[in-house]
Amino acid sequence: MTEISALKSRLLADIAAADTADSVETLRVGALGKNGVVTALLKTLGGMSPDERLEKGPAIQDLRESVAGAIAVRKAALEQAALDARLAAERIDMSLPADLGPVGSVHPVSQVMDELAEIFADLGFSVATGPEIEDDWHNFTALNIPETHPARAMHDTFYFPDGEADGQKRMLLRTHTSPVQIRTMMTQAPPIRIIAPGRVYRSDSDATHTPMFHQIEGLVIDRGITLGHLKWTLETFLKAFFERDDIILRLRPSYFPFTEPSVEVDVGYTLVNGQRVIGGSGNDKDGGWLEVLGSGMVHRKVIENCGLDPDEWQGFAFGTGVDRLAMLKYGMTDLRAFFDGDLRWLRHYGFSALDVPTLSGGVGA
Amino acid sequence: MKFTLSWLKEHLETDADLLTILETLTNIGLEVDGVENPAERLGAFRIAKVLSAEPHPQADKLQVLAVDAGDGPLQVVCGAPNARAGLIGVFGSPGAVVPANGMVLKVAAIRGVESNGMMCSFRELELGDEHDGIIDLPGDAPVGQVYAAWAGLDDPVIDVSITPNRQDCMGVRGIARDLAAAGIGSLKAITIPTINGQGAGPDVRTEDASGCPAFFARSVTGVTNGPSPQWLQRRLKAIGQKPISALVDITNYVSVDLGRPLHVYDMATLNGGLVARKAQDGEQVLALNGKTYTLDPRMTVIADDAMVHDIGGIMGGAHSGAQDGTTQVLIECAYFTPESIAVTGQALGLTSDARTRFERGVDPAFLDDGLSIATQMVLDLCGGTASEATRAGAPPAAGRSVEYTPTRVLALAGVDVAEDIQARILESLGFGVSVGDIWTIAIPSWRRDIDGAADIVEEVVRIYGLDKVPSTPLPRAPGVARPTATPEQMIERRVRRTAAARGFNEAINWSFLSEKEAASVGGGDWVLANPISEDMKVMRPSLLPGLLAAVGRNMDRGAASVRLFEIGRRYFATGERATAGIVLAGEKMPRSWQTGKAQGFVAHDVKAEVLALLAAAGAPIANLQSFGEAGGAYHPGQSGTLRLGPKAVLAEYGMLHPALARQFGLSGSVAAAEIFLDAVPVKRRASFMRAPFTPPALQAVKRDFAFLVPDAIDADALVRAVKGADKKYIVDARLFDLFVGPGVEDGHKSLAVEVTLQPGEKSFTDEDLIAISGAVVKAAEKLGAVLRG
């Protein structure tokens, strides 16, 4: 056993026994520092004869490498242990609740309007708008609703006070979205395909009527458009909206002053656990018909009133309640709750911001 | 419009079953609202004879009857005063359900005596109001038979809703005609009686050719008024009308049967002749419904020398109506103009069966016939002698026709209907058809609604069957559907979904406010003349009141934190403005193990939301300037506006003014904002291509500056000034510290700004940096800010 190997054994044992980073550092300085024992041995190499160096050199080099290696290993081990100890001390109760932040919602009426816009965009319809404070010409006269029509009566229509008595048009709250038909036909050259959703107003209030509600109007003006196109459009729209292929429509002759022929549209439903589920024939067992749309071929007087030639241009119009469509699709039962702003209701029936209706992802959510 | 199946069959010869008739009615546009057969509810009630009646041992007012309902005697306890041996009445056996109250009859002991059913009154069977005693039938009523069948009640009552264009179907005959056209049997001929009038007709005139162009009348003397015959009463009762007396019942019957309203006057109550004229302003009449109406000169009345007797075509007067003692009557059969009826009816708020018919336009060619039919019925049921008819004026009964080409059906309805079928349909509806290159269609006098070829198409198609119209796809543009949303619509969609993503719940509030609510936000330009209530009177000039009211309701329900938004319009004399309103109320953060006590909202919380929503809308938020003047709804010191230039206000926001919070009953922190979506500049995209990506070669340098600034200077102004100090190298300036307190002189604040400098081709030299710093300090000094040492 030489001196060197004895020194090595001692140093390695000391390093292994060091239990703090500081004591490892003290050992490093004592061995490998400027005045360290290993450093001193390395310095002796310079004064040796070549033979002597050949004999002792490798042992001294081995000593230096072993000690340096052992110090590095020991240091790393101690750092790891220290980190482990710190992390262990930093443990917290991960079962404590985390704050998700507030969760918002989109109103069902807005959602359904977006759904309708998406479906009708695929059929080539754009979305048109018009004022809610209308004049009686756009709301009634242009739509072939004469002065004495009951719909003009005070009990249905919200009016504003008469303007100056110089033949000014009487202002009112639009009772339907149909004046948008007029405004579109007067400003846009055919062919026309639009839908017009929006707020409408009638002086009516009970469980199923509110003085403000939402309608959507559809209008197609082109050459050669027939009742058959209307039928297809409504079938296609309702199938896409309810995402069901078993939608069955029943068309009934009806009367609206601004369409001729006029058609009321019922959709078949089936009673499932006491709820009306759209789909199937209304004539089936457990079935029934729900009136969902008013429609017809645009009256030639209306087309004329808009400055178009009714012998060249014809088409169809339809209208339905957006709130009602939402109720039929998503199962709300009380219309008044739509306009109450009750957070509980909005969270229950509302939609996530990311439920954007798309054709690929589905228009329903 | 209600009628019974047997009534329909007075006009329609048919073998069709009820279900087929109902389906056809709906299919041809006469929508069936309901159908009910009273006999189905009365099937368990049979005709029975009281064999004996003995006093009840325990009760003075009760009797113990032995009743035979066809199966031998049954013991029945009865309290009716008219119960007696030999009476034939109607008996409900155990198990039967009493229509009036839903009670199920069962064997029971009444005051200790067993009773095996019930002898019924009319009211208990819902056949009338009589409840003085049990039903007392004629002696020949067949004991044991089902009562309803014997009494002719086995007759379904059909209720159809008639669209306003079809006055002809306000009479049973019109409905029968439509059904016959649709292939349900054939329309029976109607016989118009010939009246051999004795003596001159009554003195009637019309002075109002616009409101009442024709006034036809006959008088009948020597009549005996009283209850009308059973068949007539039964029909009226079946459709929910109350029989009154023969004379009144006749007018009601003709009105429902033929859609021809009439009026009968007791001539003994009249002073001189009757004239149709415009009412005088303020003239009054006590109508048959017991109410007094004040009239004006727009309204047509029938009056004698002394008073008004009839609101023409709407309701008769109480003074001259037919009574039990009436012996001489005047039967009025007039034509009132629909427009005039509508004006009067609306002005008086008065509806009646007559108004419903005249307003839609009765058959102007049916005055003579209607008068003859009514007169004959009076003669038949009440006796007497009829006068000649007086015919004052003339109804607008000129024949009308329309030119028509049968190809219109295919062109408009998309269904091909053979010409012979079209002609048959039209003829069966009463139209005259002259075939040719262009057909001439004579319009029947009762179809006032027809005035063009499209109407003829509708007639053909509704009878032929809408179900036969083939579903025809709309022509589709080649390729994938194109985008349709306008930039304005996209702004609304983005703002809506961003708000929802940031934790707001979307509400939809009324467009109208109370005057008080409107006044709290500056008052509205549009005030309704006929609001449904005082709470819904003024079109909103702001979305805040609706949102605040909704916050209040939620707080009242116990909500601790409310974040609501609404996207809708504000209404001004100058137009309607698309607006997003938001409100933050109550707790921003609930109390929490992390953050301690609950925290309320502060003004900059709502500013952050406003900026986020404006960014979503596409507004250039880096260029927005912060101004004051948010308006009286907000805390004057904690509110502001964001503008693009001094005039274009994009948003108002801030803490709510305490006075407004109090008005809506809100406590705690409330912050709110309105974003004026129509003021956001619309970006029209020229190309999808983005500018090339060219990151700077050299790293940016950051330098901090702290300034002593007078309180009156806004931080925004300082940051803008700093940012503008060197347009070439300063790319950003961000305020990161605000300090007031020791070391900062009174009336001042310390603001620290981090400035980002972007070198170009080569790194900054010390001289460059000194020059830029000097420019920054100089720009700040112009505002009165001093660099802190």
Of A107, A193, A260, the CB nearest to B506: A107
CB contact at 8 A, B274 and B309: yes
**A125, part of any domain:** yes
Residue that is last in its domain, among B369, B393, B417 = B393
Which positions ≥6 away from A45 have C-beta within 8 Å?
A53, A56, A57, A60
> Alpha-carbon torsion B27, B30, B33, B37, what sign?
negative
B679-682 own/partner pairs: CB under 8 Å, 24+ apart: B679/B644, B679/B648, B679/B649, B679/B650, B680/B491, B680/B614, B680/B617, B680/B618, B680/B619, B680/B650, B681/B618, B681/B619, B681/B620, B681/B644, B682/B487, B682/B488, B682/B491, B682/B618
Q: Are residues A254 and A295 in the same domain?
A: yes
Read off the pLDDT of residues B444-496 as tens digits, 9 standing for 90 and up.
999 999 989 999 999 999 999 999 999 999 999 899 988 888 889 999 999 99
Binding site of B for Mg(2+), by residue number, is 449, 455, 458-459
Task: Name B512's Cβ contacts closer than 8 Å, sequence gap at least 6.
Answer: A211, A212, B528, B531, B536, B537, B538, B539, B540
* Strands in A148-228 per DSSP E: 171-173, 192-201, 212-222
Interface test with B, best of A226, A262, A290 (most B CBs within 10 A): A226
Task: Report chain B's mean pLDDT, rounded to a whole number.
Answer: 93
Please indicate, yes or no, if residue A364 is contained in any of the structural domains.
no
B439 and B531 assigned to the same domain: no
Q: Give me the number of domains chain A comprises.
A: 2
Known binding-site positions of B:
449, 455, 458-459
**Could you write out the DSSP letters of every residue in B428-482?**
HTT-EEE-SSSEEEEEPTT-TT--SHHHHHHHHHHHH-GGGSPP-PPP--SSSPP
| Inter-chain residue contact B571 with A124, CB threshold 8 Å | no
Q: By CB neighbour count within 10 A (0-12 exposed, 13-18 middle, 19+ buried), where does A47 fall?
A: exposed
- Token reading at A301: 């007087």
- Rounded to whole angstroms, the Cα distance separating B771 from B782 reads 17
- What CATH number is attached to the domain comprising A239? 3.30.930.10
Residue of A nearest to B346 (CA): A153
Give me A3's structure tokens.
Answer: 């001196």
Within-domain flag for B688? no
Q: Are residues A183 and A251 in the same domain?
A: yes
pLDDT of residue A52: 83
Classified as helix, coil or strand, B50 is: strand
- Report the pLDDT value the prediction gives residue A151, as an integer from 0 to 100: 64
Among A125, A234, A346, A356, pick the best mutation site for testing chain B contact (most B Cβ within 10 A): A346
Distance CA B773, CA B756 (A): 12
CA distance B613 to B683: 16
Quote the minimal CA–CA distance from B238 to chain A in Å: 27
pLDDT value, residue A167: 59
Asked whether residue A69 falls in the same domain as residue A28, the answer is yes
Domain shared by B290 and B313, yes or no? yes
CA end-to-end distance (rounded Å), chain B: 94
- Lowest mean pLDDT segment, chosen from B70-84, B163-177, B328-342, B400-414: B70-84
Please tell me whether residues B745 and B634 are part of one structural domain. no
Q: Are residues B492 and B431 in the same domain?
A: no
Distance CA B577, CA B649 (A): 13
The secondary structure of B695-734 as a DSSP string is: --SS--EEEEEEEEEETTS-HHHHHHHHHTT-TTTEEEEE
Of A40, A62, A88, which residue is a domain's last? A88
What percentage of chain B carries pLDDT values higher than 70? Answer: 100
List CB contacts (< 8 A) between B415 and chain A.
227-228
| Closest residue in A to B577 (Cα–Cα) | A131
Residues B664 and B517 in one domain: yes
Residue corresponding to tokens 């032929």:
B464
User: Distance, in angstroms, between B565 CA and closest chain A CA?
Assistant: 10
Q: For residue A300, which residues of chain B lie inside 8 Å, CB to CB?
A: 452, 454
B709-738 pLDDT, tens digit per residue, is: 999 999 999 999 999 999 999 999 999 999
If asked whether residues B383 and B265 sit together in one domain, one would say: yes
A 10 A CB-CB count for A238 gives 23
User: Which phi and psi (to 5°) does residue A62 adopt?
Assistant: -60, -40
B387, B409: one domain: no
Neighbours of A158 (CB within 10 A): 25
- Give the pLDDT band of residue B387 (cuts 50, 70, 90): very high
B441 in a structural domain:
yes
Per-residue pLDDT at A4? 82
Amino acid at A70: A
Cβ contact, residue pair B346, A121, below 8 Å: no
User: Containing domain of residue A216, as a range?
Assistant: 106-351
Query: Would the CB atoms of A342 and B554 count as touching at under 8 Å?
Result: yes
Residue B52: C-alpha distances to residues B74, B86, B424 (Å): 10, 7, 64
Q: How far is A177 from chain B (nearest CA, A)?
A: 16
Question: Do B511 and B580 share a domain, yes or no?
Answer: yes
Residue B142 in contact with residue B47, Cβ under 8 Å? yes
Which pLDDT tens digit goes with each residue over B533-542?
A: 999 999 999 9
Of A61, A88, A115, the residue at which a domain comes to its end is: A88
B-chain residues within 8 Å CB-CB of A120? 484
Q: Could you say which DSSP state residue B592 is in?
A: B
For strands B214-221 and B328-335, give the pairing: antiparallel
For B384, the token pair is 């007497």
* Measured distance CA(A332)–CA(A347) in Å, rounded: 13
Kindly state the helix (H) or strand (E) to which residue B487 belongs, with its residue range: helix B487-501
Are residues A262 and A196 part of one domain? yes
Cβ contacts (< 8 Å) between A346 and chain B: which residues? 505-507
On whether residue B20 sits in a domain, the answer given is yes
**Contact criterion met (CB < 8 Å) for A233 and B474:** yes
Q: How far apart are CA A215 and CA A320, in angstroms?
A: 6
Measured between alpha carbons, how far apart are the two ends of chain A, in Å? 85
Identify which has the larger pLDDT, A21 or B585: B585
- Tell me if A105 and B505 make a contact (CB, 8 A cut-off): yes
CATH of the domain at B545: 3.30.930.10
Question: Counting one residue from A and one from B, how many pairs have CB atoms under 8 Å apart?
Answer: 253
Q: HSE-up of A205 (CA within 13 Å, CB side)?
A: 12
Lowest mean pLDDT among A45-59, B93-107, B490-504: A45-59
Angstrom distance (rounded) from CA B175 to CA B259: 10
Specify the CATH number for the domain of residue B757.
3.30.70.380
Q: What is the CATH number of the domain that holds B58?
A: 2.40.50.140
**Does the pLDDT of residue B611 top 80, yes or no?**
yes
B691 within domain boundaries: no
Query: Which of B329, B363, B393 is where one domain is finished?
Result: B393
Domain shared by A17 and A120, yes or no = no
Indicate yes or no: CB of B576 within 8 angstroms of CB of A212. Answer: no
Same domain, B230 and B349: yes
Residue B91 included in any domain: yes
Task: Calculate mean pLDDT across residues B488-508.
Answer: 97
State the smallest CA–CA distance between residue B249 and chain A in angstroms: 28
Name the residue facing B505 among A121, A314, A347 (closest C-beta). A347
* Same domain? B128 vs B259: no
Instruction: For residue A260, say whether it is annotated as part of any ligand binding site.
Output: yes
Answer yes or no: is A225 within a domain. yes
Q: What is the 3-state secondary structure (H, E, C) of B131-195?
A: CCCCCCCCCCCCCCCEHHHHCCCCCCEEEEECCCCCHHHHCHHHHHHHHHHCCCCEECCCCCCCC
Task: Calculate the alpha carbon distances from B627 to B1, B605, B611, B616 in Å.
Answer: 66, 17, 14, 21
Average pLDDT rounded to a whole number, residues B660-665: 94
Residues in CB range of B589: below 8 A, 6 or more apart: A99, B595, B598, B599
Can you give the pLDDT at residue A63?
85
Q: Are residues B598 and B654 in the same domain?
A: yes
From its phi and psi, is residue B631 left (phi > 0), alpha (psi between -120 and 50) or beta? left
A89 CB neighbour count, 10 Å cutoff:
7
Residue of A nearest to B462 (CA): A253
pLDDT of A163: 64
Write the burial class of residue B379 (CB in 10 Å: 0-12 exposed, 13-18 middle, 19+ buried): middle
* CATH number of residue B371's parent domain: 3.50.40.10
Chain B nearest-CA distance from A183, in A, is: 16
Instruction: Find the mean pLDDT for residues B404-420.
Output: 95
Contacts with A227 (C-beta within 8 Å, 6 or more apart), sequence order: A261, A263, A297, A316, B412, B413, B414, B415, B461, B466, B469
Identify which of B26, B412, B510 has the shortest CB distance to residue A314.
Answer: B412
User: Looking at the domain assignment, is residue B443 inside a domain?
Assistant: yes
Three-state secondary-structure class, residue B770: helix
Which of B29, B497, B576 is nearest residue A133 as measured by Cβ atoms?
A: B576
Contacts of A261 in chain B (CB under 8 A): 412-413, 454, 457-458, 461-462
Contacts of A107 in chain B (CB under 8 A): 506-508
User: Do residue A197 and residue A284 come from a single domain?
Assistant: yes
Which of B502, B526, B553 is facing A340, going by the closest CB pair? B553
Cα dihedral: B673, B677, B680, B683 (round 10): 140
A357 is a domain residue: no
Q: ipTM for the complex?
A: 0.90
Q: In the Cβ-directed half-sphere of A86, how many Cα atoms lie within 13 Å? A: 5
Quick check: is A356 in a domain?
A: no
Asked if residue B346 has pLDDT above 70, the reply is yes
pLDDT of residue A206: 79
Give how far Cα A339 sits from Cα of A226, A330, B660, B777, Å.
38, 16, 22, 55
Answer whether residue A21 is part of any domain: yes
Q: What are phi and psi of A108, to 5 degrees?
A: -55, -35
Mapped onto helix, strand or coil, the DSSP state of residue B397 is coil
Type of residue at A248: I
Question: Is residue A81 domain-shared with residue A123, that is, in the same domain?
Answer: no
Nearest CA in chain A to B494: A353
Q: DSSP character for A335?
A: G
Count of domains in chain B? 6
Domain identity same for A221 and A268: yes
Answer yes or no: do A75 and A119 share one domain: no
Q: Look up the pTM and report it.
A: 0.87
Distance from CA of A163 to the nearest CA of B (A): 11
pLDDT of the residue at B563: 98
Please say if the pLDDT value at position B405 is more than 90: yes
Residue A363, in any domain of the structure: no
Chain B residues touching residue A266 (CB < 8 angstroms): none
* Interchain contact, A252 vs B484, CB within 8 Å: no
Task: Collect the ranges in chain A with pLDDT lower than 50.
Answer: 1, 165
Q: Pick from A88, A114, A132: which residue ends a domain?
A: A88
Rounded alpha-carbon distances, angstroms, from residue A123 to A194, A229, A298, A318, B378: 10, 12, 19, 15, 63
Q: Which residue of B has its CA nearest to A130?
A: B576
**What is the domain extent for residue B716?**
701-787
Q: Name residue B316's beta-bridge partners.
A: B310
Q: Does residue B661 lie in a domain region?
A: yes
A229·B473 Cβ contact <8 A: yes
Closest by CA position to A248, among listed A195, A207, A292: A292
Q: What is the mean pLDDT of residues B246-252?
A: 95
Indicate which of A136, A193, A203, A227 best probes the interface with B, i.e. most B CBs within 10 Å of its own CB. Answer: A227
Maximum pairwise Cα distance, chain B: 131
Distance CA B518, CA B509 (A): 14
Q: Would B126 be classed as within a structural domain?
A: yes
Q: Is the pLDDT of residue B111 over 60?
A: yes
- Is residue A96 a part of any domain in this protein? no
Q: In what order do the strands lie in the sheet with B63-68?
A: B73-78, B63-68, B45-55, B88-92, B118-119
B293 contacts B351 by C-beta, under 8 angstroms: no
Collapsing DSSP states into helix, strand and coil, what is residue B484?
coil
Closest chain A residue to B459, measured at CA? A261
Residues of B in contact with A342 (CB under 8 A): 553-554, 557
State whether A16 and A163 are in the same domain: no
Q: What local confidence, expressed as pLDDT, does residue B628 receive?
A: 84
* Helix spans in chain A (H): 3-17, 21-32, 37-44, 50-89, 108-122, 136-139, 179-187, 227-242, 300-305, 322-330, 343-349
Residues A248 and A147 in one domain: yes
Cis peptide before A191, with omega less than 30 degrees from 0? yes
Angle between helices B715-723 and B766-782 (to 10 degrees): 140
Residue of chain A whose Cα is closest to the Cα of B466: A251
Residue of B nearest to A323 (CA): B508
Residue B470 has its nearest CB partner, among A117, A228, A236, at A228
Statement to judge: residues B491 and B595 lie in one domain? yes
Other Cβ atoms closer than 10 A to B419: 13
Residues A329 and A232 both lie in one domain: yes
> Measured between alpha carbons, how far is A3 from A41 in angstroms, rounded to an integer?
11
Chain B nearest-CA distance from A122, in A, is 5
